[in-house]
Amino acid sequence: MKDFFYITVFVFCSVCPIFVKGQTTDSLREEKPARFHFQGYLKDLHTAAFTPDKGSLLTGNFLHNRLNFKYDFSESFSARLELRTRLFWGEQVRWTPGFAEQADYESGWMDLSWVAVDEPAVVLHTIADRLSLNWRIQHWDITLGRQRVNWGVTTAWNPNDLFNAYNFFDFDYEERPGSDALRVRYYTSGMSGFDLALSRGRDSASTIAALLYRFNRRGYDFQVLGGWYRDDVAMGVGWAGSIGDAGFKGEATWFQPHRSFWDTTGVLSLTLGGDYSFEGGWYIGGAVLYTSGGSNEAEALEELATRQLSAKMLMPFKYSILGQVSKQITPLFTANLSLIYCPGADAFIAFPVLSYSVSDNWDVTIVAQSFFAPQDDKFKNRGNVLLLRLRWGF
């Protein structure tokens, strides 16, 4: 009975925007400005994972619903709630040990994640990944609660993103994770200013507290940061600008264990990136990531699916080189190809994406991820994932 209740709630939340949209458009038309804001989307994602081994095909399906709510009490004070609900079913759930526990991963101080249904082949999971209050007045911007603290500058990998590092291959989570934090921003002029964030997880080892300062010099946006990152002292720098017509960005952060501050056990995470847009809809980009604590072993490739990545370890390899090219073939159809090579481990990853916009709020995306690495003295395909996603936004 309880499972049926949660499934009913999920279906209701997925369908109700149709009626909410229709009913609120007329009733709120004369209310200016609107205090209540609502939007979201519903996705249907089909996956097929396989290796060259016969009989290795593993399929999976899930519906992904997102509901975003915001209420403006005044021009300077607002509240936000965003819910992410996913209904998984199929072989991937049945044959993955501890699937529900993996989906229910919750590192925040507040336990806002729960599994409503946990059956052998069906899992229903909901998380509130945004729940916060925001106050803005003059030069101050203060947010308390679960939020996205985005300190990243570059496109692919972000060593400066201490609070919400994400996996480059998790293309379906555009919003990226949130942190339970207090964030205080003070703008001195334009986009220059101070950004202080304090986050506490379920234990003291997950505490992050850091201060960032942004400023502009000679056409470049710079940032410097320092603070406490779990068991480390972190110090970093980032920049974004251009060389001619090409973009040039970079980030670097040094993580030093506070218990051995003066020795050489620290880890450096450094990335450099550039991009260029051509006429006719062509775009090229590239990035290099160096992680001093990374591995040169091909077996580290498996950690991409199992390891919880962080700003300290954005890729399991010591060196990672990314090349990207995209083309807007028509106003509605875009093709993108990302290639990653990890020299020390001789690992290679291909990541093509095709996206077509059916209408203003409907789109179709086809994604492939193929992983290659040496095995038995031969360069072999180690695994593949094909994904088809339908998305309806409201």
Residue 36's beta-bridge partner residues? Answer: 71
Residues 203, 209, 211, CA angle at the centre, nearest 5°? 175
User: What is the rounded CA–CA span in Å between residue 294 and residue 292?
Assistant: 6
- pTM of the predicted model as reported, rounded to 2 decimal places: 0.85
Q: Is it true that the peptide bond before 33 is cis, omega within 30 degrees of 0?
A: yes
What is the chain's percent helix, strand, coil content, to nearest 5? 15, 60, 30
pLDDT of residue 22: 45
pLDDT of residue 32: 67
Q: State the SS3 of 314-371.
A: CCCECEEEEEEEEEEEECCEEEEEEEEEECCCCEEEEEEEEEEECCCCEEEEEEEEEE
Q: Is 227 left (phi over 0), alpha (psi -120 to 50) or beta?
A: left
Query: How far apart, in Å, are the Cα atoms of 60 and each of 8, 44, 117, 176, 324?
Result: 22, 11, 17, 22, 28
pLDDT of residue 204: 67
pLDDT tens for the chain, 394 residues: list them: 444 334 434 444 444 444 444 444 444 455 567 899 999 999 999 999 999 888 889 999 999 999 999 999 999 999 999 999 999 999 989 988 888 888 877 777 888 999 999 999 999 999 999 999 999 999 999 999 999 999 999 989 999 999 988 888 888 888 988 899 999 999 998 789 999 999 987 776 789 999 999 999 989 999 999 999 988 999 999 999 999 999 999 999 999 998 776 776 789 999 999 999 998 899 999 999 999 988 888 888 877 876 678 999 999 999 999 999 999 999 999 999 999 999 989 999 999 999 999 988 999 999 999 999 988 888 999 999 999 999 999 9
User: What is the rounded CA–CA span in Å between residue 324 and residue 83?
Assistant: 32
Are the beta carbons of 318 and 291 closer than 8 angstroms?
yes
User: What is the rounded CA–CA span in Å between residue 329 and residue 243?
Assistant: 27
Are the beta carbons of 121 and 90 closer than 8 angstroms?
yes
